[in-house]
Structure 1
């Protein structure tokens, strides 16, 4: 039986997710998944100076893509983005957070 948190995540991805496909960096068969896009900022720091730029961030359920590698690609509606950073920030590791390039 899934946890309430898992059921909530599944509901969000059903309602707000878009069809996507993950391809590992060394190629292989694309893995179909659903992605939810969020708006964020990327922080750039150099010594005492810094700047923020808009970031393209997608979230994908780990149940659909158990292993997500940086330099892999996420394709959404014919547009392909390279994964620059892949993390699992939630405590239960249910969602991948991807910074797209």
Structure 2
């Protein structure tokens, strides 16, 4: 286990930092329980010279828990279900999925 793995274990186990969630692939399949860290970011929209910024719902899920995350799948947490609009792995070590949710 690397220092980064140990750090992720601590962060995602903390109830103040992450919550229990369930990922379901877009074409059905078995739901996958996981932990998700949520944040509110901004999504920027531009058209020619005009721009608008709207609130976005962002979640991070460990690739250790969900190795394959697909767009149009769902992430359910606390009785709410979000559709995954975009799934990327922003870190070079590929420890996390960064999800833009609708």
Structure-1-length-normalised TM-score? 0.95
Q: How far, CA to CA, are the matches of 1:10 and 1:97 in structure 2? A: 17
Quick check: 1:97 aligned with 2:98? yes
- Per-residue deviation at 1:3? 1.2
Per-residue CA deviation, residues 14-53 of structure 1 (Å, 9 max, x unaligned), is 1121110000000111100000011211111112211111
Which residue of structure 1 lines up, in the alignment, with residue 7 of structure 2?
A: 8
User: 1:1-101, aligned counterparts within 5 Å?
Assistant: 2-15=1-14, 16-101=17-102
RMSD over aligned Cα, in angstroms?
A: 0.8
User: How many residues were matched structurally?
Assistant: 100
SS in structure 2 of the partner of residue 27 of structure 1? coil
SS in structure 2 of the partner of residue 45 of structure 1? strand
Per-residue CA deviation, residues 30-87 of structure 1 (Å, 9 max, x unaligned), is 1000000112111111122111111100100000000000000000012110000000
Runs (4 or more) in structure 1 with deviation over 2 Å come to none
Q: How far, CA to CA, are the matches of 1:11 and 1:23 in structure 2? A: 25
Q: How far, CA to CA, are the matches of 2:2 and 2:44 in structure 1? A: 34
Q: Which runs of 5+ in 2 are unaligned?
A: none
Q: Which runs of 5+ in 1 are unaligned?
A: none
